[in-house]
Chains A and B, each alone.
Chain A
Amino acid sequence: EPEVTQTPSHQVTQMGQEVILRCVPISNHLYFYWYRQILGQKVEFLVSFYNNEISEKSEIFDDQFSVERPDGSNFTLKIRSTKLEDSAMYFCASSASEILPLHFGNGTRLTVT
């Protein structure tokens, strides 16, 4: 069964540094998402992406965040100047259509020190 893959599985960075989290969605999927889960809290929606543009974003997704689909296979989340409170598990997800279920990747654990 095809899977969403995310790299790296764990990223440690210093406060103020930029990080890029990478995702390879399932190949025929058209809708892409980022979610995050702070330890012990709910999974939270960050952003959805379709047709090379953001279709929706949450209040969490402020100017320090950006997403990009640089080529036909990758989908990235960039955090420009990381803060301690950005430490979380970041999940990428994709779906084949707007009404079909989301498939999640294994996540990237981001630790900001």
Chain B
Amino acid sequence: GENVEQHPSTLSVQEGDSAVIKCTYSDSASNYFPWYKQELGKRPQLIIDIRSNVGEKKDQRIAVTLNKTAKHFSLHITETQPEDSAVYFCAASSRANSWGKLQFGAGTQVVVTP
């Protein structure tokens, strides 16, 4: 089955700097890659997703890149702010299994210090 690895497990950045989180996946059939943000005690919230027919997607300060050949995808947060502090999860799924059957990474604790 699919296995998603996520790095780093923790990331400390100064406010205003960029943060990059990387994920690799094992199943070449995976073609949907969402990113979720989870604040302490709250629900995972989708912040951006990408499908395999594109290599990059951007939404304001957040961008995701996908390299299907290398089977990795990354989340980029620019101009970080204290409210970006949270745990970020990457995930992958494929139509072959079910797009809703997400395989999650272990999560990255991002701390943005003022």
Does B associate with A? yes
Residue numbers of A with Cβ under 8 A of B are: 3-4, 31, 33, 35, 41-45, 48, 55-56, 58, 91, 93, 95, 98-99, 101-107
Partner of A48, one of B46, B91, B101, B103: B101
Interface SS of chain B: loop
Residue numbers in A under 8 Å from B107 (CB-CB):
42
* Total A-B pairs, Cβ < 8 A: 53
Complex contacts, B41 vs chain A, CB 8 Å: 106
A56–B101 CB distance below 8 A: yes
Q: Which residue of B lies closest to A106 (CB)?
A: B43
Contacts of B98 in A (CB 8 A): 48, 55-56, 98
The winner among B32, B44, B103 for most chain A CB atoms within 10 A is: B44
- For this complex, 23 residue pairs linking A to B, each with C-beta atoms less than 8 Å apart, are A3-B43, A4-B43, A35-B102, A41-B106, A43-B102, A45-B101, A48-B98, A55-B98, A56-B98, A91-B43, A98-B98, A98-B99, A98-B100, A99-B32, A102-B34, A102-B46, A102-B100, A104-B44, A104-B45, A105-B43, A106-B41, A106-B43, A107-B43
Which A residues are CB-close (under 8 A) to B102?
35, 43, 45, 102
Instruction: Assess the B43–A43 pair: CB atoms within 8 A.
Output: no
Decide: B43 and A42 in contact? CB cutoff 8 A.
no
| Size bin of chain B's contact surface | 20 to 34
Give Cα distance in the complex from A103 to B36, angstroms.
10
In the complex formed, the residue of A with least CB distance to B89 is A43
B61 close to A (CB within 8 Å) = no
CB closest residue in chain A, given B91: A43
| Contacting residues of chain B (31-45) with chain A, CB-CB under 8 angstroms | 32, 34, 36, 41-45
